[in-house]
């Protein structure tokens, strides 16, 4: 990872900038994107908290804003339609540029809108949440929720640039810091012991943001290397799904019950179940499993469900996009950094992992 430069030109054309000077880095990025007009996509939260940090920049001269609602519940066809309409009515051409300023919902939906408007216009992601910095804005996934399922419609398409600047983390509450941190913890588990050890000893209640910036750079680097090897998720990229098969089920379940949980919390809970399966099925060390689970429970609390909900959770797992022919595919670990993709578990084993989650 390099500071404020463009050497990091990956095979899949997305350039990630760990930014120390937001105005300069954004100016450079815009100058390298063809644009006759600039649009900035924000949600009602980033409009107040984040747009003021950049709106005076010379490089954004004459921009239009498109404001959408906040939270994952608006990541849908109606909102997408609104963005397309605003682009069209605002005079956007296929040479226009969309800047997505926000969390993962904004970068996912904005990326999809840009990828499809006039068959695709350039876009730049400026993630403003920790989750989007380490996960959503890297790797070219775009999309919306559809028909009650998360990220059901979308395309793989890279933004021209992703600008990561931790100044925005000052705008986040502790829950959103924790949410993003769960993906960092996952990156540590699929990477190496040194990174994992640093992650589970970090103080999430009073986070040291300077230290966090360096850890974000390391975390993004893990994801980049994996995406680079497998841009369309046919093999090793499935490593990034660790915690997500069970996690997405918790997330969808919570949404259906009208008590939505943040994505990172769902992933943290999913990792508890999948660490249990990893220990039970492929030999993940139980001491490291317990240390990690203890850290998760300390900072993320627990998600409340009963054994009557197991069948429903199992059914949600079978809907996961990573599955083939209705067989649930897990990514499991036989050790830190020792990844086993395409693992299956019986109904009993999955129920055991849910028992473990509830009883510890």
- Exposed e or buried b per residue across 301-323, where buried means at least 16 C-beta atoms within 10 angstroms of its C-beta: eebebeeeebeebbebbebbebe
Rounded Cα distance, 120 and 142, in Å: 12
Phi/psi for 162 (5° steps) reads -120, 125
CATH 3.40.50.1970 domain position(s) in the chain: 15-172
The pLDDT of residue 3: 47
Residue among 158, 167, 166, 160 nearest 184 (CA): 166
CATH 1.20.1090.10 domain position(s) in the chain: 230-359
Helices (H) and strands (E) in the chain, counts: 14, 10
What fold characterizes domain 230-359? Answer: Dehydroquinate synthase-like, alpha domain (1.20.1090)
Furthest-apart CA atoms within the chain: distance in Å = 60
Rounded Cα distance, 303 and 258, in Å: 14
Rounded Cα distance, 35 and 27, in Å: 12
144 pLDDT above the threshold of 80: yes
The pLDDT of residue 4: 42
Rounded Cα distance, 322 and 27, in Å: 38
What fold characterizes domain 15-172? Answer: Rossmann fold (3.40.50)
Rounded Cα distance, 248 and 41, in Å: 26
Confidence of residue 9 (pLDDT cuts 50, 70, 90): very low
pTM over 0.75: yes
The pLDDT of residue 72: 82
pLDDT tens per residue, range 191-240: 999 999 999 999 998 888 888 988 999 999 999 899 999 988 889 999 99
pLDDT above 70 as % of the chain: 96
């Amino acid at each position: 990872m390099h500071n404020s430069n463009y050497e990091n030109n990956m095979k899949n054309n997305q350039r990630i900038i760990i930014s120390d000077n937001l105005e300069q880095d954004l100016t450079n990025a815009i100058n390298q994107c063809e644009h006759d007009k600039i649009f900035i996509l924000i949600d009602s939260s980033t409009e107040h908290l984040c747009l003021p940090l950049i709106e005076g920049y010379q490089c954004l001269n004459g921009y239009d804003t498109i404001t959408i609602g906040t939270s994952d519940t608006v990541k849908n066809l109606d909102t997408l339609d609104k963005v397309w309409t605003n682009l069209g009515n605002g005079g956007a051409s296929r040479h226009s540029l969309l800047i997505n300023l926000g969390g993962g919902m904004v970068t996912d939906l904005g990326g999809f809108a840009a990828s499809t408007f006039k068959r695709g216009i350039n876009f730049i992601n400026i993630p403003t949440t920790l989750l989007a910095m380490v996960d959503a804005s890297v790797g070219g996934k775009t999309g919306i929720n559809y028909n009650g399922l998360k990220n059901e419609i979308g395309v793989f398409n890279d933004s021209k640039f992703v600008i990561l600047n931790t100044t925005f983390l000052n705008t986040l509450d502790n829950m959103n810091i924790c949410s993003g941190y769960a993906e960092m913890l996952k990156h540590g588990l699929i990477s190496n012991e040194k990174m994992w050890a640093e992650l589970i000893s970090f103080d999430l209640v009073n986070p040291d943001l300077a230290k966090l910036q360096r850890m974000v750079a390391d975390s993004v680097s893990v994801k980049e290397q994996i995406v680079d090897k497998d841009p369309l998720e046919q093999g090793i990229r499935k490593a990034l799904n660790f915690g997500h098969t069970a996690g997405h089920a918790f997330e969808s379940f919570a949404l259906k019950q009208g008590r939505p949980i943040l994505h990172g919390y769902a992933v943290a809970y999913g990792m508890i179940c999948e660490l249990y399966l990893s220990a039970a099925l492929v030999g993940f060390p139980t001491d490291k499993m317990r240390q990690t689970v203890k850290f998760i429970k300390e900072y993320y609390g627990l998600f409340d469900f009963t054994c009557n909900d197991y069948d429903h959770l199992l059914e949600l797992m079978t809907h996961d996009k990573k599955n083939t022919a209705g067989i649930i595919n897990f990514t499991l670990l036989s050790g830190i950094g020792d990844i086993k993709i395409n693992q299956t578990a019986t109904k009993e084993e999955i129920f055991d992992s849910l028992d473990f989650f509830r009883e510890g």
